[in-house]
């Protein structure tokens, strides 16, 4: 074998710990990217899976713009001459012990052509039981249920017991779904005569365009996929940004470890150069080494990422169902192109991250035999500051330009890179300050040794500061956002209680009955529907006190209310204004069964309820234009806010529930917390990767400074003294990183709140300063620093100092 390759191979073989750290660093970063990439695919796939299961991947879907479809439409179409095979479907969301599921109800007698196994004979077991459901084995396992026992679910606010009549082979399309007979489901859900949609084969397009009533629409699989992609765009972009930041921290680890592998062989490389090895030969062998390490580490990362994605999927399933109304698959579906793309990206960026290391190796002078000195920095502080300044300027421009989210994220990444370049110098300045304060103490001397190894420690310090800054900045943003949502809900909820019905709808009769209760002073109501482009339209009936619930961002109640009530304009939410670049005076349009309606914008209000945007119109006009007299919920303004209405509820002809203002607020915040669990998980992963960076750098330092440590031992420093020395060093590094993370985290918090959130979701979050994350960070960072020092300290103290003291 080529002796230089042998030199590389044997070195790694003889240093398994460093090899492991290098692999762990790259694998951890790649795992997060892979996991999030797989999650993104799941989110995009989440909408169209139901149709995939029933009528094939490219099926057509017949829908009513109002959302619900009369079953008579199906009967009319199915009985016409030449009718294609149509599949009527009713869908509803239910919960089982907190797990979100979807009832997918089919007509077993109609599903004769379904290509995915949900046709005729396969669905026959459903006919034998009024509450019979079929589900996949994977879903059954996830619910920890037994096929022999009844399945209790919460549906429309009440409990229902279902019988599992068949367990189907696993397929992603039916994951998290309960397949049920259509008529039985209509009965269970109190939605007799209703469908959610009708599926049709792709070849039926021409026939349907001739026979479909004008008020119905036909959507293709691609359109449905686009819709899912639009709905989840903000969430996916946020996940992608987090994963890239995690990967960037992972790259610091790779850089730190590979740089150390180089430094350790600095003397030997100098000797090789002295006896005639050319820089080109060295570059080839070191690049090959980096390629093998990053390539193999990335492979490990793909495997870990796939496992991680399944774990993270549990965290996103609930918020995706609650916020977007989508059911996600129970497991991720990795593909070879995705794996290849992530692997190639990881290897390319991994190699790019060690370009500086390779350059440094090329600069090792022939005959440079010492390995006990810190290698010179590749770039001077002045050059680094200049590069950081340029990056910060370009990053600021990217953030300032009122364009897409991607540009803003690129700007943020540029800023973070600029910060990473400046962090080592700032960190060393902090350590120097400490050393000046306590020059003769153990901590002062230990910190002094750290400062001699600045080049070695720079990547770890930058990684740790960025990771802490990122985690804390995220936490500040989430807490600030949570406080903003809390304020918004508190302000929005003006009624004393909210009435919803667990089955059926609130119609005029029910409304009149509730209005007649003596405890009720006035009632507000809302009826919401999704428009074909993903926006929401809501018809409001608001008494005067309810108008105080709006937090106006443009316009106000006094000027907007008269025109709103007269149908001369609409209110729009902030995301609607931002996505559509609309302001007061502009007009919005939407389709109604009677044609397009165009209304001027009267005012813009704060809304965190929908990131796609809401158009609000007066309820009376809503009912007139959409011929829909139902309400989703009623807000009750009571004579006595503490009044008990339980007895009144019992007199209603439908099963109804009352929720207090406090309960609605608590539920909203609970959904918020579930939505951000994924962010916490990713922030934690970033922190863990940074700890790997710290441990690796400290091990590197320990090995590099072995002779210094041995000298200290020889001079009389005890093992426990040396242990304290090393842990002091790790803790000092962590403390410096934590101090530097304070301004970094505030910058991240401000950028996420003021720039990224508006562009991703359309809403602004008032900048707040929650101090808790900072107060928690410092002790946690110190603890993590001390823990990170344990292994390096143990490793250093158990080494026999005698051989280290001898000449090489």
Partner 1 sequence: MGRHFSVGAETISILDGLDLSLERAERVAIMGASGCGKTTLLHLIAGMDQPSQGSIHLAGTDLGQLAEPALTRMRARRIGLIFQDFNLIDSLTVAENITLPLWLNRLPQPTEFLNELSDTLAIQPLLDRMPTTLSGGEKQRVAIARALIHRPCLILADEPTGSLDEATATRVMDLFDQAIKRSEATLLMVTHNREAAGLCERRLMLRNGSLQPAE
- The token pair that represents 414 in the structure block: 């540029």
**Is 272 a residue that touches partner 1 (CB under 8 A)?**
yes
**Is 791 a residue that touches partner 1 (CB under 8 A)?**
no
Among 11, 296, 680, 791, indicate the residue that binds partner 1 (CB under 8 A).
Answer: 11
Residue 9 or 91 with smaller CB distance to partner 1: 9
Residue 268 or 396 with smaller CB distance to partner 1: 268
Q: How far is the CB of 284 from partner 1 (least distance, A)?
A: 13
**Is 17 a residue that touches partner 1 (CB under 8 A)?**
no
- CB 75 within 8 Å of CB 139: no
Under rule CB under 8 A, how many of the chain's residues touch partner 1? 28
CA distance linking residue 170 with residue 627, whole number of Å: 42
Among 78, 202, 229, 369, indicate the residue that binds partner 1 (CB under 8 A).
Answer: 369
Q: Cα dihedral sign for 26, 28, 31, 33? A: negative
Q: How far is the CB of 22 from partner 1 (least distance, A)?
A: 16
Residue 9 or 629 with smaller CB distance to partner 1: 9
Write the binding mask 65 to 94 for partner 1: x where contact by CB under 8 A, - elsewhere.
Answer: ------------------------------
CA distance linking residue 231 with residue 48, whole number of Å: 13
CA distance linking residue 190 with residue 54, whole number of Å: 23
Q: How far is the CB of 361 from partner 1 (least distance, A)?
A: 14
CA distance linking residue 149 with residue 141, whole number of Å: 13
Which of these ranges, 94-102, 203-211, 276-284, 606-614, lies near partner 1 under the rule CB under 8 A?
A: 276-284
Which of these ranges, 9-17, 124-132, 512-520, 756-764, lies near partner 1 under the rule CB under 8 A?
A: 9-17
- What string of H, E and C letters represents the secondary structure of 667-714? HHHHHHHHHCHHHHHHHHHHHHHHHHHHHHHHHHHHHHCHHHHHHHHH
Q: How far is the CB of 708 from partner 1 (least distance, A)?
A: 18
Burial class (CB in 10 A: 0-12, 13-18, 19+), 598: exposed
CB environment 64-97: b (16+ within 10 A), e (fewer)? bbbebbebebbeebbeeeeebbbbbbbbbbbebe
- In 46-153, where does DSSP find H-type helix? 49-55, 71-78, 120-123, 137-142
Q: How far is the CB of 6 from partner 1 (least distance, A)?
A: 6
Q: How far is the CB of 719 from partner 1 (least distance, A)?
A: 24
- CB 631 within 8 Å of CB 495: no
Q: How far is the CB of 351 from partner 1 (least distance, A)?
A: 23
Residue 293 or 511 with smaller CB distance to partner 1: 293
- CB 287 within 8 Å of CB 358: yes
Considering only residues 303-342, where is the footprint of partner 1 by CB under 8 A?
A: none
**Is 6 a residue that touches partner 1 (CB under 8 A)?**
yes
**Is 371 a residue that touches partner 1 (CB under 8 A)?**
no
Which of these ranges, 11-19, 421-429, 524-532, 748-756, lies near partner 1 under the rule CB under 8 A?
A: 11-19
**Is 444 a residue that touches partner 1 (CB under 8 A)?**
no
Which residues fall within 8 angstroms of residue 184, CB to CB, at 6 or more apart? 105, 126, 129, 130, 131, 132
CA distance linking residue 109 with residue 87, whole number of Å: 10
Which of these ranges, 131-139, 292-300, 361-369, 792-800, lies near partner 1 under the rule CB under 8 A?
A: 361-369
Other CB atoms within 10 A of residue 775 CB: 10
Which of these ranges, 3-11, 123-131, 173-181, 769-777, lies near partner 1 under the rule CB under 8 A?
A: 3-11
**Is 275 a residue that touches partner 1 (CB under 8 A)?**
yes
**Is 16 a residue that touches partner 1 (CB under 8 A)?**
no
Residue 276 or 518 with smaller CB distance to partner 1: 276
Q: How far is the CB of 283 from partner 1 (least distance, A)?
A: 12
Q: How far is the CB of 4 from partner 1 (least distance, A)?
A: 8
Which of these ranges, 27-35, 269-277, 336-344, 498-506, lies near partner 1 under the rule CB under 8 A?
A: 269-277
- CB 294 within 8 Å of CB 26: yes
Which of these ranges, 6-14, 41-49, 703-711, 759-767, lies near partner 1 under the rule CB under 8 A?
A: 6-14
Q: At what angle do helices 336-353 and 279-324 cross, to 10 degrees?
A: 130
DSSP 629: -
Residue 121 or 276 with smaller CB distance to partner 1: 276
**Is 14 a residue that touches partner 1 (CB under 8 A)?**
yes
- What string of H, E and C letters represents the secondary structure of 141-175? HHCCCCCCCCEEEEECCEEEEEEEEEEECCCHHHC
Among 169, 280, 595, 716, indicate the residue that binds partner 1 (CB under 8 A).
Answer: 280
Burial class (CB in 10 A: 0-12, 13-18, 19+), 161: exposed
- The token pair that represents 614 in the structure block: 């809401």
Residue 60 or 282 with smaller CB distance to partner 1: 282
Among 170, 268, 443, 795, indicate the residue that binds partner 1 (CB under 8 A).
Answer: 268
**Is 2 a residue that touches partner 1 (CB under 8 A)?**
yes
Among 150, 311, 367, 779, indicate the residue that binds partner 1 (CB under 8 A).
Answer: 367
Strands 132-136 and 60-63: unpaired
**Is 278 a residue that touches partner 1 (CB under 8 A)?**
yes
Residue 279 or 770 with smaller CB distance to partner 1: 279
**Is 10 a residue that touches partner 1 (CB under 8 A)?**
yes
Instruction: Please name which of 587, 621, 589, 583 lies closest in space to residue 603, comparing C-alpha atoms.
Output: 583
Which of these ranges, 231-239, 267-275, 576-584, 653-661, lies near partner 1 under the rule CB under 8 A?
A: 267-275
Q: How far is the CB of 249 from partner 1 (least distance, A)?
A: 31
Q: How far is the CB of 281 from partner 1 (least distance, A)?
A: 8
**Is 288 a residue that touches partner 1 (CB under 8 A)?**
no
Residue 362 or 742 with smaller CB distance to partner 1: 362
Q: How far is the CB of 796 from partner 1 (least distance, A)?
A: 19
CA distance linking residue 480 with residue 753, whole number of Å: 8
CA distance linking residue 738 with residue 427, whole number of Å: 10
Which residues fall within 8 angstroms of residue 436, CB to CB, at 6 or more apart? none
Strands 132-136 and 158-168: parallel
**Is 722 a residue that touches partner 1 (CB under 8 A)?**
no
Among 115, 279, 504, 770, indicate the residue that binds partner 1 (CB under 8 A).
Answer: 279
**Is 363 a residue that touches partner 1 (CB under 8 A)?**
no
Tokens 């897409």 sit at which residue? 404
Residue 281 or 306 with smaller CB distance to partner 1: 281
Q: How far is the CB of 286 from partner 1 (least distance, A)?
A: 14
CB environment 516-535: b (16+ within 10 A), e (fewer)? ebebbebbbbbbbbbbeebb
**Is 277 a residue that touches partner 1 (CB under 8 A)?**
yes
Q: How far is the CB of 276 from partner 1 (least distance, A)?
A: 2
- For 500-557, give the DSSP string: EESSS-B-HHHHHHHHT-TTEEEEEEEEEEE-TTS-EEEEEE--GGGGGG--EEES-H
Other CB atoms within 10 A of residue 583 CB: 12
Percent helix, strand, coil in the chain, to 5, is 60, 15, 25
- CB 261 within 8 Å of CB 11: yes
Q: How far is the CB of 279 from partner 1 (least distance, A)?
A: 7
Q: How far is the CB of 369 from partner 1 (least distance, A)?
A: 6
Binding residues for partner 1, rule: CB under 8 A, are 2-3, 6-11, 13-14, 267-268, 271-280, 365-367, 369, 807-808
């Amino acid at each position: 074998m080529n002796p230089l390759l042998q030199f590389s191979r044997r070195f790694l073989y003889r240093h398994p710990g460093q090899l492991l750290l290098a692999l762990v660093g790259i694998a951890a970063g790649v795992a997060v990217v892979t996991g999030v990439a797989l999650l993104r695919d799941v989110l995009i796939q989440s909408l169209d899976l139901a149709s995939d299961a029933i009528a094939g991947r490219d099926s057509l879907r017949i829908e009513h713009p109002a959302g619900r479809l009369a079953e008579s439409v199906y009967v009319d179409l199915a009985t016409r001459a030449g009718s294609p095979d149509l599949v009527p479907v009713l869908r509803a969301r239910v919960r089982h012990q907190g797990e979100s599921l979807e009832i997918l109800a089919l007509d077993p007698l109609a599903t004769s052509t379904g290509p995915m196994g949900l046709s005729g004979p396969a669905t026959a077991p459903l006919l034998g039981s009024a509450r019979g459901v079929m589900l996949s084995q994977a879903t059954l396992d996830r619910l920890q249920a037994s096929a022999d026992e009844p399945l209790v679910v919460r549906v429309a606010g009440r409990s229902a017991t279902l019988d599992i009549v068949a367990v189907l082979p696993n397929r992603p399309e039916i994951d998290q779904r309960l397949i049920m007979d259509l008529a039985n489901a209509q009965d269970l859900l109190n939605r007799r005569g209703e469908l959610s949609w009708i599926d049709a084969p792709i070849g039926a397009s021409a026939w349907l365009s001739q026979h479909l009533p004008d008020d119905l629409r036909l959507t293709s699989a691609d359109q449905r996929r686009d819709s899912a992609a639009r709905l989840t765009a903000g969430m996916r972009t946020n996940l992608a940004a987090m994963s890239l930041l995690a990967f960037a921290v992972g790259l610091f680890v790779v850089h730190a470890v590979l740089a150390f592998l180089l430094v350790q062989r600095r003397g030997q490389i100098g000797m090789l150069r002295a006896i005639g090895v050319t820089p080109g030969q060295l570059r080839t062998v070191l690049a090959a080494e980096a390629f093998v390490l990053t390539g193999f580490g990335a492979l490990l990362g793909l495997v870990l990422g796939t496992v991680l994605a399944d774990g993270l999927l549990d965290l996103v399933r609930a918020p995706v169902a609650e916020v977007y109304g989508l059911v996600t698959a129970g497991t991720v579906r990795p593909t070879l192109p995705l794996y290849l793309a992530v692997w190639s990206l990881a290897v390319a960026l991994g190699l790019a991250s060690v370009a500086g290391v390779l350059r440094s190796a090329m600069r090792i002078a022939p005959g440079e035999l010492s390995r006990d000195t810190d290698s010179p920095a590749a770039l001077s502080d002045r050059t680094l500051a200049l590069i950081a300044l340029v990056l910060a300027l370009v990053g600021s421009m990217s953030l300032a330009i009122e364009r897409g989210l991607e540009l803003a994220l690129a700007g943020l990444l540029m800023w973070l890179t600029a910060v990473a370049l400046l962090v080592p110098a700032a960190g060393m300045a902090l350590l120097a300050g400490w050393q000046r304060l306590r020059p003769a103490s153990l901590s002062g001397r230990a910190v002094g040794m750290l400062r001699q190894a600045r080049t070695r420690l720079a990547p770890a310090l930058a990684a740790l500061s960025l990771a802490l800054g990122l985690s804390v900045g995220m936490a500040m943003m989430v807490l600030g956002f949570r406080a903003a949502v809390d304020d918004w809900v508190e302000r929005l909820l003006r009624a004393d209680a909210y009435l919803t019905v667990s089955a059926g709808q609130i119609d005029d009769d029910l409304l009149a009955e509730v209005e007649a209760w003596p405890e009720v002073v006035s009632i507000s109501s809302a009826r919401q529907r999704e428009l074909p482009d993903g926006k929401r339209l809501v018809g409001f009936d608001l008494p005067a006190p309810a108008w105080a619930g709006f937090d106006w961002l443009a316009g106000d109640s006094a000027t907007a209310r008269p025109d709103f009530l007269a149908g001369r304009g609409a209110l729009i939410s902030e995301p609607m204004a931002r996505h559509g670049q609309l302001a007061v005076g502009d007009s919005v349009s939407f389709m109604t069964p009677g044609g397009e309606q165009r209304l001027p914008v009267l005012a813009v209000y704060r809304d965190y309820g929908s990131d796609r945007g809401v158009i609000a119109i007066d309820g009376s006009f809503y009912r007139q234009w959409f011929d829909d007299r139902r309400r989703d919920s009623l807000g009750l303004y009571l004579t006595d806010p503490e009044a008990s209405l339980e007895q009144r509820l019992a007199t209603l002809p439908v099963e109804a529930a009352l929720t207090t203002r406090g309960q609605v607020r608590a539920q909203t915040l609970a959904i918020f917390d579930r939505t951000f669990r994924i962010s916490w998980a990713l922030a934690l992963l970033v922190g863990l990767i940074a700890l790997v960076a710290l441990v690796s750098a400290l091990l590197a330092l320990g090995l590099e400074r072995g002779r210094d440590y041995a000298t200290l031992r020889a001079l009389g420093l005890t093992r426990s003294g040396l242990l304290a020395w090393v842990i002091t060093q790790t803790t000092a590094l962590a403390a410096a990183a934590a101090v530097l993370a304070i301004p970094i985290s505030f910058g991240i918090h401000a950028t996420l709140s003021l720039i990224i959130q508006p562009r991703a979701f359309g809403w602004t979050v008032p900048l707040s300063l929650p101090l808790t994350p900072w107060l928690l960070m410092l002790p946690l960072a110190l603890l993590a620093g001390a823990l990170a020092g344990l292994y390096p300290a143990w490793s250093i103290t158990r080494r026999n100092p005698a051989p280290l003291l001898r000449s090489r």
